[in-house]
Amino acid sequence: MMILGLSTGAFTALHVAISLLAIVSGLAAAAGLVRDRRPGPWTAIFLATTIATSATGFFFHSKAIGPPHIVGVLSLVILGLAVWALYGRRLVGAWRPVYVVSAILALYLNVFVGVVQAFQKIGPLHALAPAGSEPPFLAAQLLTLVAFVVLGAYALRRFRNVSPG
């Protein structure tokens, strides 16, 4: 099968590479928020690659709408809000916290999917939670959620530099 002119394997590799770049650049952008740095290149890369990974996820063959589609739509809506808050509203007034929350939430959703994929595709993790509902999987997702709630609260408190770079 082909997806956008690529074999399914090649398209999957591209999607994974975009996803990993989105996570790495998102962590760099989040670090900038915590350090009260103006949003710059890492933020632009994060937003673009996270939009790309959410959008490309819809090209995988599926017989029905399921959780990946719902997460993808939710992610794109949240990313639209982040982009509008940053570039459209320039982080003025209430748009600063809207941006921080939506950017951290978009990054969390990308990492959330990464954890799901890790437990599905990496042998030792899959052996710990073959159904994706066992305690090791739930613990990993709970720790991920807690880490992002803490990161989001910290970024919200620390980020005051409201002029996009």
Contact between 150 and 25 under an 8 Å Cβ cutoff? The reply is no
DSSP 88: I
Query: Confidence class of residue 161 from pLDDT cuts 50, 70 and 90?
Result: confident
The residue with greater pLDDT, 164 or 35, is 35
**pLDDT for position 162:** 65
Is residue 137 very low, low, confident or very high in pLDDT (cuts 50, 70, 90)?
very high
**CA–CA separation, 81 and 99 (whole Å):** 7
**In this predicted structure, what is the pLDDT of residue 44?**
98
The strand ranges marked E within the chain are 2-3, 6-7
Asked if 151 and 34 touch (Cβ cutoff 8 Å), the reply is yes
Measured in whole angstroms, the distance separating CA 163 from the mean position of its chain's CA atoms is 23
Question: If pLDDT is split at 50, 70 and 90, which confidence band does 61 have?
Answer: confident
| Sign, CA torsion 83/116/35/158 | positive
Q: How confident is the model at residue 164 (pLDDT cuts 50, 70, 90)?
A: low
SS3 content of the chain, % helix, strand, coil (to 5): 75, 0, 20
